[in-house]
Structure 1
């Protein structure tokens, strides 16, 4: 079974076993919702059930059903929380895990010709931007919006796009 990192446990919070975590996941609201099942990276068989989770400054505070006092919580410090592939919720249509998009080939939607490969993703604002590296080594950012990205085929690692003028440095 595959596991994906969700958060790193930084420290205890209060006396009732709540922990402060640094978020690694793109979906903290889902991962830290009540009833969500997470595990420890080095002991995936030990399942922790989220009792409650809430944002706190740039971190999250998470309480697990199984951890009821500060002594138990102390033992979690420095550990990484993971979610099993089986416990990942289905993503809403049009949402993808970064790992599924990275490495995809970018193809022209009309001609099918290869434009390049997605090598990085950033989320600067309303929509993600995908870094495309062309065969010649040039790079440009592709906004993930429906006017540009026409079809995403995760199975075949292909993204079909319609480039707007000015996206690439065309000589």
Structure 2
């Protein structure tokens, strides 16, 4: 579980290559200033950190990070699933208008008429538009562009999200 005063800046994915680089799913609006060599991240789970960033590069639109002390593929694999944390107040200026994945996880997802659709299983932060990942009641995963036209309501108190998908969106990938 994340610390109450921390924000997830990224989640470590799979290793890339043989020199300890990992792919990351970015959860910050300002990766250029967050991901700089020498930056130190607390981690979730805490036993994997803190991690000091040794290298940063972008390959085909994906951030590849290398960490001090993790110089080979095996060491990189051990970091898979690790969340890189930053102080909440540091991120607040960057994220005043947005949602964080940890704020939305497990929210119930409903259609505008109240029909239950599933639950929020992830938030994919993208440069152009974010994607809300929904695990349907049938166990499928659907991605919904996280824009006001398609996600007109997020109710924090009730922990629900209303999704108004265009025809065919929920059937993609079947």
TM-score by length of 2: 0.53
Count residues with an aligned counterpart.
151
Q: What corresponds to 1:21 in structure 2?
A: 22
TM-score by length of 1: 0.54
Q: What corresponds to 2:50 in structure 1?
A: 47
Stretches of structure 2 lacking an aligned partner (at least 5 in a row):
none
Q: What corresponds to 1:83 in structure 2?
A: 84
Distance apart, 1:53 and its partner CA: 1.9
Q: Residue 115 and residue 36 in structure 1: after superposition, are their counterparts in 2 closer, same or farther (change >3 A)?
A: same
Cα displacement string for residues 74-97 of structure 1 (whole angstroms, at most 9, x for unaligned residues): 488243154246468343523431
Cα displacement string for residues 41-83 of structure 1 (whole angstroms, at most 9, x for unaligned residues): 5635x53343652224656143x6xx4xxxx444882431542
Is the 1:105–1:114 Cα contact (8 Å) retained in structure 2?
A: no
Query: By percentage of residues, which structure has more strand?
Result: 1
Is the 2:27–2:100 Cα contact (8 Å) retained in structure 1?
A: no
Stretches of structure 1 lacking an aligned partner (at least 5 in a row):
14-18
Q: What is the RMSD computed on CA atoms of the aligned residues? A: 4.6
Is the 1:9–1:22 Cα contact (8 Å) retained in structure 2?
A: yes
Please state whether the residue corresponding to 2:31 is helix, strand or coil. helix
